[in-house]
Amino acid sequence: MPPLPPVTQALLLINIATYALDVLLGGQLTLWFGLWPLGSFFMPWQVVTYAFMHGSFNHLFFNMLGVFMFGSELERLWGTRRFIHFYGASLLTAAIAQLIVTNLAGGPPYPTVGASGGLFGLLLAFGMLFPRRVILLFFVLPVPAGVLVVLYGLLELFQGVFGTQQGVAHFAHLGGMLGGWLMIRYWRRQAPFGRR
């Protein structure tokens, strides 16, 4: 097995370290670095830092498993610089989508945390670049990557619109996918950025 590329490795280590430190500090990092809705405790840096906070060990584990699975291969394919740009675009569009939705929906303010927006961008890219590659869903069910991306996108849209799984930032996940899709379109000089 080839060694982990540097950015993927750094993402895993930083996320694990910040989770452990946040637990030790009783959630104080989340208060400062989670993504709060506009008009509450929002600070500009939170559109990036929220992605390094996680609400539970399971949340951290599954996000980092996805970053490991998809991010390492994409970083090897694209190189470090392009991978950083892609992951960053996915995180930013996920944050913007979440801020828009929480602003429109109102309700009690609480912070959004987790690397899921970036992960969903990576998942989308993997599905676009390797649509026939088989992924074992739940480690047992073989599904082509392209099909998996469509299913996940539709599931997130359904859950976001109908309010299932309260406390999950479904529109941030979709925002991450949108950011990833836009980056790939930009690199390919496809609409809305130009023609081939």
DSSP string for the chain: -PPPPHHHHHHHHHHHHHHHHHHHTTTHHHHHHSBPPTTTT--TTHHHHGGG--SSHHHHHHHHHHIIIIIHHHHHHH-HHHHHHHHHHHHHHHHHHHHHHHHHH--S---B-SSHHHHHHHHHHHHHHSTT-EEEETTTEEEEHHHHHHHHHHHHHHHHHHT-STT--HHHHHHHHHHHHHHHHHHTT-TTS---
> pLDDT digits over 95-106, tens only?
999 999 888 877
| From the candidate CATH numbers 3.30.450.20, 1.20.1540.10, 2.50.20.10, 3.40.190.10, the one assigned to the domain spanning 6-187 | 1.20.1540.10
Whether the pTM exceeds 0.85: the reply is yes
Supply the pLDDT for residue 170: 81
Task: Answer with the residue of higher pLDDT: 64 or 103.
Answer: 64
Range with top average pLDDT, 92-96, 109-113, 134-138: 92-96
Give yes or no for residue 152 having a pLDDT over 70. yes
Counting every residue written for the chain, the total comes to: 196
Over residues 114-122, mean pLDDT: 95
* Catalytic sites, residue numbers: 116, 173
Give yes or no for residue 45 having a pLDDT over 80. yes
Over residues 58-73, mean pLDDT: 94
